[in-house]
Amino acid sequence: MVMTNIEIKVPETIRQYVLDETTEEVRNALLLYPSIANDTISHGKAAELLGLSKMELIQIYGALGIPYLDMSDQEFEEEVGTVKRLVNKI
């Protein structure tokens, strides 16, 4: 994967945390998350851009408390109902 440098301004007080090499993968995933959240790109595309599998990316977000499925309880129940109706048709 070809890498590039991007310069960003951050408060001096967080410098040590931003430059920690062990968090580079997590930091890069977090840089892409707003594009996932606003439906500009999918989790799959973000994973591809990061050189990760989709499951690896989902696991990174999960470890940070960011859910893969962002649904209300009502939306979830509607999805479950749809799946049940489809299964019953088979």
What residues does each domain of the chain span?
A: 12-89
**In this model, does residue 5 exceed pLDDT 90?**
no
To the question of pTM greater than 0.85 for the whole model, the response is no
For the chain, the maximum distance between any two Cα atoms, rounded to a whole number of angstroms, is: 60
Q: What's the burial of 29, exposed, middle or buried (CB within 10 Å: 0-12/13-18/19+)?
A: buried
Question: What pLDDT is recorded for position 16?
Answer: 81
pLDDT tens digits for range 43-89: 999 999 999 999 999 999 999 999 888 778 898 899 899 999 999 88
**What is the distance between the terminal CA atoms of the chain, rounded to a whole angstrom?**
44
pLDDT attached to residue 51: 93
